[in-house]
Each structure stands twice: as C-alpha cells, then as structure tokens.
Chains A and B, each alone.
Chain A
Amino acid sequence: MKVRIKFAKRGNMKFIGHLDIMRYFQKVMRRTEIDIAYSEGFNPHQKMSFAAPLGVGLTSEGEYLDIEANSVTSSYDMIEKMNQTMVDGMQVLSVVALDDNAANAMSLVAAADYLVKYREGYKPECFVDNNVLKVEFNKFINSEAINILKKTKKSEKEVDIKPMIYSTEINDGVICMKLATGSSKNLKPELVMQAFHNANNITLGEFDLEICRLETYGSTLKEETDDVEMILNHLQPLDGFGTEIV
C-alpha cells in the first residue's frame, strides 16, 4: 500500500539538509516499526521518496514523503507513533493512503506556498515602512515581465519568471507567494526576492530573508498549460490525493 506522510520541519531543524532528512525518516520507520517495504537484493533499501527537496535554512509546514508499506494500522496510530520518536522541530502532520496506481509525490508536485519575511535587523532601509514595501512589491509583481539572468555552466540567459509566480499577497511586511515547484517548472522564493531587490536597485544579502514553505501542492491537470487560472484551479495539497486510514 502506498502511504503519503506530511510533516513540518521547524526551528533549528532548518540546518539539516535534505539528504539527512531522508536518512532521518529511514530511521523513523525502523524506530516506529512501520511495516515499510524493502527492495530486493544484497543491500535492501526502503521504498521511500520525497516530494520536493527543501534548501538548508528554510523551515516548512508542508513537506511530504511517500512510502510503500506491507501493512498499515491507522492514520491516527501512525501519526502518534512517529511523533513519539520525533526530535524537537519535526512533526508528522498527516498520513493518508493512496491508490496503488497513484503517481508519487515527486512527480505530482506543481506548486508551493512560501512565507517570506526579512530577518530581524536585515530589512532594507527603503522598506522599513511596511506600506512602502507593500506598494513597491505590488508594483514589482504587477510589471509586464520579471526578467532575471539565469546562469548556466556555458552561458547566461534572460528568463521571465513571472509565469511561474502564481499568486502573491503581502501584509504587515510578510509576503506570501505561490510559486511553480517541481521538475518541469521550478522557482525559488529567494529568486523572486532577488528580482524584487534588483528592480529597486538594492542587493539581496545572503541572510536577509527567513523563509517557510507552508504547503506543497500537486496538480490534477493531465496536460501542461500556461494558463495560471487553470493551474490554480487544479492545485491540491499533496495529502488531498489520498484518504485517511481508519
């Protein structure tokens, strides 16, 4: 049976990288004796995959991993068991069962919500007034195109990231943005903020921002489209693709 697990990664856990979080969950499976399936061969490994890697320094309220289990108890029981063995800052939020032929989280991922704010003491002087920040940010986000220079190994090219920004909202100096995420289109919130700073002729420092991923979405669309309205209408939090195990 395919099972999807949603978890939060908070506080100091932001310093633990993606690969180590994968190893962490492999050990969670063993500590909680969740009946996860193993691959064949001399060095069997757990059948487990993660939705979208989260960069070091970011926290999250909406991370996902899929596992294949030989048997399950109930969502409630599995959440309880895992949370009893979690470290401070990690919390399992939901466990749902998926259809056997369901696509895995990694291939479903289409968008994510991010909460972006300036780290204390790092807010640029020109944005100290939250109203100014709001006006300037909205002006920026509503521009025709948002071009950034994308560096590849061989060349630099200009890319318009605006089609990958699905929605934004700014209140009290805190910016919330829904961005394209996944293997075909992927936009990091840092890049949006960098473009915003560039547009205002200021540079974005390495430690200026505190970012939290709030939710990761999958899409029910069968085909790719550039129609933002259409994309938004077909987004669903990844645990919405499964059902509670009772």
Chain B
Amino acid sequence: MAKLALSDEILLSIEKPARYIGNEVNMVRKDLKDVDVRFAMCFPDVYEIGMSHLGIQILYDMFNRMDGVYCERVYSPWTDLDAIMRKENIPLFALETQDPIKDFDFLGITIQYEMCYTNILQVLDLSKIPLIATERSEDDPIVIGGGPCAYNPEPLADFFDIFYMGEGETVYKDLIEAYRENKKNGGSRREFLEKAACIEGLYVSQFYDVEYNEDGTIKSFTPNNSNAKETITKQLVMDMSDTTYPEKPLVPFIKATQDRVVLEIQRGCIRGCRFCQAGMVYRPVRERNLEFLKDMAYKMLKNTGHEEISLSSLSSSDYSELEGLVNFLIDEFKGKGVNISLPSLRIDAFSLDVMSKVQDVRKSSLTFAPEAGSQRLRDVINKGLTEEVIINGAGMAFEAGWNRVKLYFMLGLPTETKEDMEGIALLSEKIAERYYEIPKDQRNGKVQIVASSSFFIPKPFTPFQWASMCTKEEFLSKAKVVNDKMKEMLNKKSIKYNWHEADVSELEGLLARGDRKVCKTVLRAYELGCIYDSWGETFDNDKWMRAIEETGIDMNFYITRERDTDEILPWDFIDTGVTKEFLKREWANARNENITPNCRLKCSGCGVMKFGGGVCFEGKN
C-alpha cells in the first residue's frame, strides 16, 4: 500500500481525508521503472468537483493508454489542508504515487471557469513551482493549460508555459514525443517550448509581445520567436465514435458532484445562441453514434458499479438518436436498479413520456431556459424558444401531473429595456395562469415556479464579445425591476424569484475579456489571500477590489466599454474556426433583432466547415 504524503495526524484532523489518499476504484497504477514521462493532471478546485469532470477522466484514460506515460491527478487542497501545508512546508503531491508535483515532467491544468484562476496559483505555489513561467528552471514541470477559458489565455499568460487550444484528444501525443526527443538530445526547457510552439494548437505565451495604444487597447500582438505561429488553430476530434473514451472511469469513495456514469453524446451545438461561448467554440456539432454509446454504457456501468447514468452535451434534444438512446437505457438498465438521469430536454410528448418513466412526476420539475423575458430580446440573443412553445410545453406537462417549473434568465443582455426585464415576471405569471386553467379537481395542488436570473457576461468568441457589460449596481437595479414586477403579479405566491451575486459577475467579466495586464491583478489577489473564489464561503470581494486598485486596473475599460469591431482583441490570434466576419455579422443581426437559423436548418457560413466534418457535412455523404 502506498505511503501517503500526509501523516495520519494531518489526515485525521482535516475534513474528508479521502480527498487526498487516492486508491479509488479504477485508479491506474504503473511501475515507475517503465515510465519516462510523468504527467500530473490538475483540476484547480476541490476533489469532489474535479472528480466530477468528464474531460479529466477522458485525458487520464488517454494518457495512461500511452506506453511510458503515467498520468496522475491533483486537485486543490481545501482551505483546511492548504493552511497546514503552508505552515508545515509540505509540497503538493499527486494522488496516485503521492509524489511531489515538482518531480513531474508536466503539470496540466484544466481551466474551466474564470473564478478558479487564483486556485491555479495556489496549486503552483503549493507545488513549489515558480508562479511566473519565465522564472522556472530546467527542473520545474512544464505547466500546460487547456479547457474553455484557454480561449482567452491572456489573463493567465504569465503563469503557463503552454496553452492548448481545443480538444485534448488530438495533439498531446505529438507534444509527448517532442518532449522525449528534446530530452534525448539534452535540449533545454526553452528548446522544448520552441518545439511545442511548432505543434498545431499550442500557444507558448512568452513567445509573443503585446504593444498597447495610449488608450489601453492593443496596438500589436506579434511573435518574438521564429517558432511561434501568427495564428493558433483550435484542435478538434472529427470522428467522435473512433476516439478514446474512458471505459473504466475512476470511482471516488466520497460522494462527488457527479456520482454517475456520464455518456457524452455529442460535442458542439447547432443553436447559435449569441451569448454562449460553448456554442461557438465547440463548433461544429459532432455526434457519437448510437452503437458506440450503447457499448460504452454497458462497459462503464459494469466497471464502475455506479447506480446512475446521465447524458452530457449541449442542447441534448438536438442529438439525432436521442429517442433510441434513451429508450435503450430505460429498457436495458431501469430494471437493474440503475437510475437514468436525463439532461434538460425540450418539453414535448417524447420528453414527457421518458421523464415520467424515469422520475417521480410529483417530485421532479420542468426546466425552461428562455434566457430573456421578451420575444424581442430572445431574438436579439438568437434563443429560438418562443413564449408559445414554453406555454404549450408547460401546459402539456401540467396536464400530465407536473407542478414545478424552473425558469432561467439572464439580465443585462445587449439592448435590454425595462419591458424586457418585466417580461420575466410576465412570462412566469403566464405559466402560472396556464396551470390554473386546469380544473381544480384534476390538478396536483399549487404550482411552484422558480425563476432565476444570472447576469450576462460577454465572452470571447461570441457575437457579444464587443458588447458592454453592466456594472454591479446596474445589475442589482435590474434585478430590483424584475422583483418589483413579480410583486404585482396575480399569482405572485406561486412564483419565487432568485438572482445571482453581482460581485462575482463583475470579476468574471474582467477575467473573461482581460488582457495580459490582468495577470498581475490575479497574482496580487492571490498574494492577498484569495483562493476558492467560486465558493461563496471563501470569496473575498474586498481583497479583489484591493488587487484591482493596486495593479491599476480600470474596470470600466474591461467591463462596461463597448469594443469597436476593428479593435485588436486579446484573443484574436486564436482561430476557433468561427470567423470574425461571422461574429461581426451576428453582432449586427443581434442589434437588428434578426434571428439566424440553426445549423441543421440552414448553414450560415460561420467558417467551421473547414474542419471537414460534423453537422456541416450531414446528409452530404
């Protein structure tokens, strides 16, 4: 049995020691004698969150299939252990071998949300790796970042050696080979980074110089190393049914956020909602075939012993074989005590039928994401859901016995007016009224409607990347408008309205569209003690405000300022396949309230057809 990095005394005095001991079912063990490349894969948040992430499971499996490569895991120590490790000078370690991260060749960090940036610094710091990439020595691991936030790597540019743009299944093999080659030839860290810069999709931020205009906008963004490419092109998997997928995912001892088998049914989304970064950067839609998924469902349930299986994708209702897949899962596994957890589906006869088969109607709720309160604003954001569809769907569900509805909205969308905000209350009211149209003796008690609004944060590579974002004061006054209107509604007692924290939204806005100047703000926030910023209990807005002030960051420049479409944006050097011309067209369409049809109805020429597959070529073979 592995000797642990932490003593019994420490493990018995912290919360959930199971976070730090490894040894889970399906953990990969390798003899270090047969290993020449050690990769530490990190999700910079607490174990239960990190272990729930499908991407890490996919990459863990992929790396460990490679000969000579051993991939281990590391997560952010929770604040209790964090304090002990600092006090007792204990280096951060990987779960499998319990060896210090500093002994590894690579530290890969997935960057899933902006509010984990200080945790990235925590992981580097506890690992005793210099925070600034250019200060690292030959002995330090190569720090590589990937994931959705890597699509604007600039606020983290100082801290990473390499960023990986796109899906992890594609060029890691080449990177590992380049590493081995360099090691064999006695090459330096810098020589390796130069080799890495030559691989498609890899961005070595220290090989680029940024010059700024007097107004703070970018004047030029140019490579300073001959190996560095002008443009970094996103890498993606084109055949989703002939690729690596974890047949034996890890099973944690403690309850993780996702304590179930996750079947990824497709990548990408055909819908083209204009606020949605995932819907743009994961284009084109690529489906996994039904037989592949059936086979995976068997194997993964058998190998994990999980009692639940769920489907993962954006807009799951658009998966063309959804009906076949869901019916298969119900027929095959329901009788064996396996729960089928459905993603949120478009409400129609099919989804109501399967929902009533897999969940208790009285206890489950319907989910709609209209995102905006009025049809006008839904047209602006290209959210194809109409009021008629929502009311009809809710009506069908009410007739079938449901009485709980969840509604998701955003506040602060471009062009939003008071009427749009009040529309959130009106739509909630109309749904309630639809419920009470059912005769009293046929309905199931009172209706419960929960409307929630988050605040709109413009994201890179969306048509709204140029848009102005609201300040927190504006956000809160918008929430008040909605809340006041809610109180006027006839059925206000059946409707509950929640809104998101505005402090965090502002910071998320800064980090989402920040440039390299924001690196020092992240660093300063960390130095002041910020970690776990996505956790309400640990988030400290005052420290962030202090960091922003001390590093001379003008929030208005990053948040409220509407960008000119000619401006050089910090992430312009990345090619996601979706062209800037398309995004500009969509930005104009939004302001003209023109909707753009989804990819299956009509191709709008976004540019991703160049990848040669997916929905762009459906029915063309």
Q: Which chain A positions have C-beta within 8 A of B8?
A: 57, 119, 207
| Best-surrounded residue of A13, A30, A46 (most CB of chain B within 10 A) | A30
Given B11, B304, B360, which contacts A15 in the complex, CB threshold below 8 Å? B11
Q: How large is the interface on A (under 10, 10 to 19, 20 to 34, 35 or more residues)?
A: 20 to 34
A83: Cβ under 8 A from any B Cβ: no
Task: Write the nearest CB–CB distance from B88 to chain A, whole angstroms.
Answer: 15
CA distance A46 to B338 in the complex (A): 11
Given B1, B13, B301, B305, which contacts A11 in the complex, CB threshold below 8 Å? B1
Q: Which residue of B lies closest to A23 (CB)?
A: B255
Q: Which residue of A lies closest to B362 (CB)?
A: A42
Contact across chains for A56 and B305 when beta carbons are under 8 A apart: no
Contact across chains for A31 and B302 when beta carbons are under 8 A apart: yes
Chain A stretch 1-31: residues in CB contact (< 8 A) with chain B: 10-13, 15-17, 20, 23-24, 26-31
A85: Cβ under 8 A from any B Cβ: yes
Q: Which chain B positions have C-beta within 8 A of A16?
A: 18, 253-254
Contact across chains for B4 and A12 when beta carbons are under 8 A apart: yes
| Best-surrounded residue of B9, B18, B253, B306 (most CB of chain A within 10 A) | B253
CA distance A52 to B500 in the complex (A): 44
A43: Cβ under 8 A from any B Cβ: yes
CA distance A30 to B304 in the complex (A): 8
Contact across chains for A12 and B25 when beta carbons are under 8 A apart: no
Task: Write the nearest CB–CB distance from B364 to chain A, whole angstroms.
Answer: 10
Given contacts A12-B23, A26-B307, contact A38 B337 (CB under 8 A): yes
Contact across chains for B337 and A207 when beta carbons are under 8 A apart: no
CA distance A87 to B253 in the complex (A): 10
A169: Cβ under 8 A from any B Cβ: no
Q: Which chain B positions have C-beta within 8 A of A87?
A: 23-25, 27
Q: Which chain A positions have C-beta within 8 A of B251?
A: 27
Q: Which chain A positions have C-beta within 8 A of B306?
A: 27, 30
Residues 124-151 of chain A, each 1 if its beta carbon lies under 8 Å from chain B, else 0:
0000000000000000000000000000
A80: Cβ under 8 A from any B Cβ: no
Q: Which chain B positions have C-beta within 8 A of A100?
A: none
A240: Cβ under 8 A from any B Cβ: no
Q: Which chain B positions have C-beta within 8 A of A43?
A: 339, 360
B2: Cβ under 8 A from any A Cβ: yes
Residues 287-319 of chain B, each 1 if its beta carbon lies under 8 Å from chain A, else 0:
000000000000001111111000000000000
Contact across chains for A30 and B254 when beta carbons are under 8 A apart: no
CA distance A179 to B444 in the complex (A): 54
Task: Write the nearest CB–CB distance from B338 to chain A, whole angstroms.
Answer: 8
Chain A stretch 22-53: residues in CB contact (< 8 A) with chain B: 23-24, 26-31, 33, 38, 42-46
Q: Which chain A positions have C-beta within 8 A of B337?
A: 30, 38, 44-46
Q: Which chain B positions have C-beta within 8 A of A99?
A: none
Contact across chains for B23 and A31 when beta carbons are under 8 A apart: no
Given B1, B302, B307, which contacts A12 in the complex, CB threshold below 8 Å? B1
B415: Cβ under 8 A from any A Cβ: no
Task: Write the nearest CB–CB distance from A40 to chain B, whole angstroms.
Answer: 11
Contact across chains for A31 and B12 when beta carbons are under 8 A apart: no
Q: Which chain B positions have C-beta within 8 A of A10?
A: 1
Contact across chains for A27 and B17 when beta carbons are under 8 A apart: no
Q: Which residue of B lies closest to A45 (CB)?
A: B337
Q: Which residue of A lies closest to B24 (CB)?
A: A87
Cβ contacts A to B, 28 pairs, < 8 Å: A11-B1, A12-B4, A13-B23, A16-B254, A17-B18, A20-B253, A23-B255, A24-B253, A26-B305, A26-B307, A27-B306, A30-B302, A30-B337, A31-B302, A31-B304, A38-B337, A42-B359, A43-B339, A43-B360, A45-B337, A46-B337, A87-B23, A87-B25, A88-B2, A88-B23, A89-B1, A206-B13, A207-B8
